[in-house]
Structure 1
Amino acid sequence: MKQAYVELPEGRVHYRCEGDGKTVLLLHMTPLSSIEYAGGMPLLAGTYRVLAMDTPGYGESEAPPRPYQVEDYARVAADFLKAHGVSRAYIAGHLTGAAIGAELAASYPEMVEKLVLTSYPFMDAELRQARKTAPAYQLFCVKEDGAHLMEIWNRWRSEGARPETNQMMVLGYLQAGKGAMSAFQAMLQYNAETRLPLVKCPTLLVSGGAEDKYHAAVAHLEGLIPDTRSRVIPGSRHFIPAERPQEFVQALRAFFG
C-alpha cells in the first residue's frame, strides 16, 4: 500500500493508495485518519483504484487555515480527486466522512457516480443545538496525571470499540491535538435537511445491526435522499470499516458493481 502527499490549494494532504481500476475514494470518521481503511483497502484493490485521504487537520494532513465547515471539507475532497486526474468516482464515507461524502455529492454531482454512507450522523436542528454542549463534542482538557487519556479511552469503549480500535481513536485525538473536534463542530453547523435532497446519485446506507440510533438515521436519510437502498451489518456497532472490513467491502463491491 502506497502512502504519499499531494499539495492542494488548502495545504498538504496525506493519503493511502492501492490498486488499479475505477476510483473509489474513502473518507474516514473523526478523529481517525485513512488508517481506518487499512484493513479494507487490500480487499478492494483487486478491482478498484482505492484512495483514502486524511481529512485536513487529521492524520498526517495539514490543519486547515481556519475552522472548516462540512462544505469546505467536501471542496478539499473534490480538489483531491482532481489532483489525481479523477473526474468521476465512487465515494464511501463513515460518520463525519459520510457527511463530507454526501456534501461532495450535493455540491459536485458530476464527480460522484455512486455514494456509500456508513453510520451517517444525522442531526436535526434540535439535536444539533443539544449537542453543542454535550461532553462528546468538547475537546478534552490535558491533565497533568494523564487522566484525559482514560477519558478518551472510556468514551469510545462505551461505544463498543475493540481495544485495538480504541487505541487508534486515542492516537487520532492526540495526533489532531487542539483541532481534534473540528469536524465534529462542523457537523453541528451543518443543515443536512436542506443539503441531502441535493444528492441525486444512487446511495447505499450502511449501518450496524447493534446500533439503534443509526437505524433511525437511515429512516431520515431515506426520506431526504431520492435514490437509496440500505444494508445492515449484523452484530456490528460504531466501527464497521475498521472492525468488519470484509463485510464492509462486500457491501461496497455488491453496490458498486
Structure 2
Amino acid sequence: MAGLAIRKAYADTRHGQVHYRYALPSSPVAPPREVLVFLHKSASSSASYEKLMTHYATRGHPCFAPDMPGFGGSFDPSPEAIKQIETKGMRWYVNLVVGIFKQFLASYSNGSGGTSSIHIIGHHAGAALATEMAAVYPALVKSVCLVGPSILSAGDRARMKEKYLKPFNRPVSDGSHLLKTWNYLRDMGIGGGSGSESGCDKGDDDLGLHQREAIDHIRAWKGRNQIYGAIWRQDGARYLRLIQCPVMAMCARDDTLWPYFENVQKVREDVSMVEVKGANFTLDRDVEGIIREWSTFILDTL
C-alpha cells in the first residue's frame, strides 16, 4: 500500500459544492481496471468507504466516493433544491451524482482507459441510489452491489417513514442531541452487534468508529430526513426490475433491513444473495466479507 493515499476534492454543481474522496492506483495496471463508485448510507459519509477504497485502489481500480448533499463535506440543499428533491425524489440525487462523477473522470482518468463503465456499491440509502442509477443509466453501470437494500412495499415504506422520518437529533441548546446521537448509534450496532452474531471482534477501533459516525450523524441531521423522504417515495422494486446489469445483494442478519432482504429475490430471482456481518456498519465491521464476495462478483462480470 506504499504510496497510496485517499485524497479529497470538491466538484461544483449549480446547487453547491460536492465533497468526495477518491483513490487512484499508484502505478499503471494493464489492462486498466474499471472505476468503482461507492455510495454511502444515511447519515454517514464517504469516510465509511476508506477501507474498501484502499483495498481496491491497490489492486488497480480508480475509486470514487461522494458525500451526498447534506452529508459530510458537501453542501446543504437550499430551499429551492429541497423543493426539487420533494418533486423528483431520488432522481435528483442520481442525476447530481452522475454529473459530478463525470467531472471526476474528466479530471483524473488521464487517458488511462477502463472508464467506459463502472461497478457501483451502495449501502442502505446508497443502495437505493445505486438501484435507480443503474436503472436509468444502463450504459454507464456494469454491475451493482447493494449492501442493505430497501426493496419495500408501499405499506412497508409508509411504516419506515413513520419510524425514521423524524429529526431525532435536531440541535438544542443544552446539547442533549449529542448524547441522543451517540446512543442511537449504539442501538444500531455500532459496537459490532450483540453477542457472536455480528461475527466481529470488538477492539480499539470501536470507539473511533463510534466517534466518526457520531460526527457524521450530528452534521447530517437535516440531510438525513431529506434523503429518507426521497427513499420512502421510491418504488425500489420497479427500478430493480429495470436494471440490465448483474446485481448482488448483501445484508447482515442484525441489520435493520434484514427483515426485508428476501424481497430482493422475490423481485429478481437472478440476484446473487449474500449474508454478511456487522449489523448496520458492515462496511467497517465486515470488510473481509465484502471484499471476498464483491471481488468474485466483479470478476464474474468481466
Q: TM-score, normalised by structure 2?
A: 0.78
Contact 1:199 1:225 in 2 (8 A): no
Deviation of 1:166 (Å): 2.8
1:193–1:247 Cα change, 3 Å = closer
User: Corresponding residue for 1:105?
Assistant: 134
1:58–1:133 Cα change, 3 Å = same
User: Which of 58, 69, 77 is equivalent to 1:46?
Assistant: 58
Cα deviation 1:56-87 (Å, max 9, x = unaligned)? 12111112342222111111121122222444
User: Whose radius of gyration is greater, 1 or 2?
Assistant: 2
Instruction: Map 1:164-183 onto structure 2 (within 5 A).
Output: 164-183=208-227
Name the CA distance, whole Å, in 1 between partners of 2:66 and 2:54. 15
Instruction: Map 1:72-111 onto structure 2 (within 5 A).
Output: 72-83=92-103, 84-85=105-106, 86-111=115-140
Instruction: Map 1:1-257 onto structure 2 (within 5 A).
Output: 1-20=6-25, 21-47=33-59, 48-65=61-78, 66-67=81-82, 68=85, 69-83=89-103, 84-85=105-106, 86-134=115-163, 136-139=164-167, 140-162=169-191, 163-211=207-255, 214-225=257-268, 227-233=270-276, 235-257=277-299
In structure 2, runs of 5+ residues without a counterpart are 1-5, 26-32, 107-114, 192-206
Contact 2:150 2:261 in 1 (8 A): no
Name the CA distance, whole Å, in 1 between partners of 2:65 and 2:75. 15
Deviation of 1:146 (Å): 1.5
Q: Calculate the aligned-residue CA RMSD, in Å.
A: 1.9
Deviation of 1:169 (Å): 2.5
Name the CA distance, whole Å, in 1 between partners of 2:133 and 2:209. 27
Q: Give the aligned length.
A: 254
Identity %: 24
Contact 2:93 2:129 in 1 (8 A): yes
Name the CA distance, whole Å, in 2 between partners of 1:126 and 1:132. 10
Contact 1:90 1:256 in 2 (8 A): yes
Contact 1:203 1:229 in 2 (8 A): yes
